[in-house]
Amino acid sequence: MTKLFVYLLVLGTLVGCSSQPKQPAEQQKKPAEAPKQEQITGRTAFQKLYISARGWASDARPYQLQSLVTKESTGKDGKSGVWRGSFASASRGAVKSFVWSGLRAEDAPSPGVTPGTEDTYNPNNTSTQVFDMAFLKVDSDKAYEVAQKHGGEKLTKANPDQPVFYMLNWRASANELVWHVIYGDNFDNAKLKVAVDATSSEFMRVEK
């Protein structure tokens, strides 16, 4: 009787073990998700950059905002994956640039805001004329729409991958803030440059 009991107990244990679900020899790995690539308009980028600039100097004021062209971000529809904002501080007597990136690519800065190095600030320098943010009422996507109507559409139809970049700065002589919509990789090889009023969105001129 005792032997029979032991036999049945062992048999039950073996059956219980065999009923356990088999585990796969190797767990299947989930495919890695592609890194998020973010492209934004100039005003959105400016807000991110301005926060960092004020952390550097409480009296920081902008004098330039510019997008950068990369393989993944060619400036279509007024958006870019990389923007650089340049600021001046009278109290520090210095200027400093900050770069925002939404890309993970070899030809782009790391995602987030990266500060540059300080340089001497000369308020009389025409290239570092600061502006009041209240003048910035028109975003880069709207500036792109205006530029398209004044020669840009012809270029983008001929080449859908036509690089476009944007520069925002103050024109002290006319007391106006200007979006420069530039069709090309840089100033030297630009096929078209269109100036748009950053306050009213009015077309200003085709620049030489």
Res. 161 pLDDT band, cuts 50 70 90: very high
**How confident is the model over 184-193, as pLDDT tens digits?**
988 888 999 9
> 7 pLDDT band (50/70/90 cuts)?
very low
Q: Distance of alpha carbon 94 from its chain centroid, rounded?
A: 25
CA distances from 47 to 63, 143, 150, 159 (A): 14, 18, 29, 32
**Given this model, what pLDDT does residue 62 score?**
98
Q: Is 115 left (phi over 0), alpha (psi -120 to 50) or beta?
A: beta
- Percent of the chain predicted with pLDDT > 70: 83
Which pLDDT score, from 0 to 100, does residue 29 have? 58
- Rama region for 98: left / alpha / beta (φ>0; ψ in -120 to 50; rest): beta
Q: Is the pLDDT of residue 149 over 60?
A: yes
Encoded tokens for 156 = 């983008």
pLDDT (0 to 100) of residue 60 = 98
d(CA 90, CA 97) in angstroms, rounded, equals: 15
In this predicted structure, the answer to whether residue 105 has a pLDDT above a threshold of 90 is no
Lowest-confidence region among 42-56, 101-115, 142-156, 189-203: 101-115
* pLDDT classification of 19: cutoffs 50, 70, 90: very low
Q: Which of 5, 11, 96 is nearest to 59 (CA)?
A: 96
Could you tell me what percent of the chain has a pLDDT over 90? 76
Nearest Cα to 195, choosing from 177, 186, 68?
177
DSSP per-residue letters across 53-79: HHHH-TT-EEEEEEE---SS---GGGE
Is 158 buried (19+), middle (13-18) or exposed (0-12) by CB count in 10 A? exposed
Between 3 and 52, the more confident residue is 52
Residue 192 φ/ψ, nearest 5 degrees:
-160, 140
Quickly tell me which residue has 């308009």 as its tokens: 41
At 14 the pLDDT is: 44
